[in-house]
Amino acid sequence: MDESIHQAHDKLFKSSFSDPATAAALLRRQLPETVVAAVDWDSLALRPGTFIDSQYRTSESDLLFSAELVGAGAGDLPCYIYLLLEHVSSRDHYLALKLLRYLVRIWESEVARLEGDRTLRKLPLIIPLVVAQNGERWDLSTRFIDLFALPDRTGEDFAAFVPDFSFGLLQLAEQPFEAIAGTPAGILTLRVLKAERVGELLDDAVWDEELMTLLSQELFERLLRYLLDGDIDRTAFERRINQITQPQIRRAAMTLAEQYIAEGIERGIEKGLEKGLEEGVEKGQKAYILEALEIRFGEVPVGLREVIESLSGEARLRELHRAAIRSASLEEFAREM
């Protein structure tokens, strides 16, 4: 399929949680009550950009939201809420360190935005939440300072020199399907992400018809494409669709599945034709090389012929064809190889 498994994760996650209402429903259940009470959730808005390291873009997705803080002493202060999806199979011991880099990038982007403003502006608070698409629970501290080895007796004194923060951590491995809460889009997205990791993409919790009826057409299609990209038996998948009781969902699922499978077959045919054409060009180039050598030097030794037949690469074969024309002997041509 065109989409890599990372692209499928990334697109599904962002299709659901880019919606502030869906993100808010998740965040309000994962953050401390006092924090939830201090955030004006009606002001939650998605911000542009990504802050993850380039080498991790095949295993992470992120979303940044802005919101206002309200209540006693808050004075309508702005804050950011950073949502990071970790879809790696093994625990990252230094997740807090990596997360700190991302938080610093957000603050740096804020400073750059205010460049030229000579008024002293305090940095906005950032509330980080990590969603881990893990198959087994990670034994992982959510405090940055726990990464450091501090002396037993004077640890508190040394801690003053260590930056510290905590982050929220939602481990899907710890969450039973029925315990995942939020909007229908958020619930089904997290259930599917969990199911993919534990090999339960055909589970009843994933195929919850009551929730499926509440999805947008775009997200329903995205979920189905994600399921089809997963490691599932196609016969079992078709049987799962046929078990759907609501006719409109069953028809939509079957239609989308047929279209997606047909697209996959068409892409496979196109790739096959491209590969066949490429192989045909290379075969012709090898024939021209051998013909040039035979015209100039007579019969080509079997060993040299086999080496030529084993070569690939259109540009390389063109160079060898020119070498076959200009070389003074077979030995000189062989040195070009």
Please tell me the distance from the alpha carbon of residue 179 to that of residue 176, in angstroms, as a whole number.
Answer: 5
Is residue 61 exposed (0-12), middle (13-18) or buried (19+ Cβ within 10 Å)?
buried
Q: Give Cα separations from 170 to 66, 91, 94, 205, 208 (angstroms).
A: 20, 13, 16, 19, 22
Q: Mean pLDDT across the stretch 163-188?
A: 94
Percent of the chain at pLDDT > 90 equals 39
Q: Which residues have CB under 8 Å from 206's CB, separation 6+? A: 177, 188, 191, 192, 195, 200, 227
What are the domain boundaries of the chain? Answer: 5-233, 280-336
Q: What is the rounded distance in angstroms from the CA atom of residue 158 to the CA atom of residue 230?
A: 48
Task: Give exposure, 232-247, as e/b (b: 16+ Cβ within 10 Å).
Answer: beeeebeebbeebeee
Q: 320: closest CA among 307, 302, 333?
A: 333
pLDDT per residue over 206-239, tens digit each? 999 999 999 988 898 888 888 877 777 777 888 8
21-63 pLDDT, tens digit each:
999 999 999 999 999 999 999 999 999 999 998 888 878 899 9
Amino acid at 193: L
* Cα-Cα-Cα-Cα dihedral sign, residues 155, 156, 157, 158: positive
184 near 219, Cβ under 8 Å? Answer: no
Q: What is the pLDDT of residues 75-133, one digit of tens each?
A: 567 899 999 999 887 888 999 999 999 999 999 998 888 776 766 678 899 999 999 99
Looking at residue 1, its pLDDT comes to 39
Mean pLDDT of the chain: 85
The confidence score (pLDDT) of residue 264 equals 54
Q: Could you tell me which residue, 272 or 245, shows the higher pLDDT?
A: 245
Poorest-confidence range of 10-14, 148-152, 291-295? 148-152
pLDDT tens-digit map of 65-78: 999 988 655 556 78
**What is the residue type of 288?**
Y
The answer, yes or no, to whether residue 276 has pLDDT greater than 50, is: yes
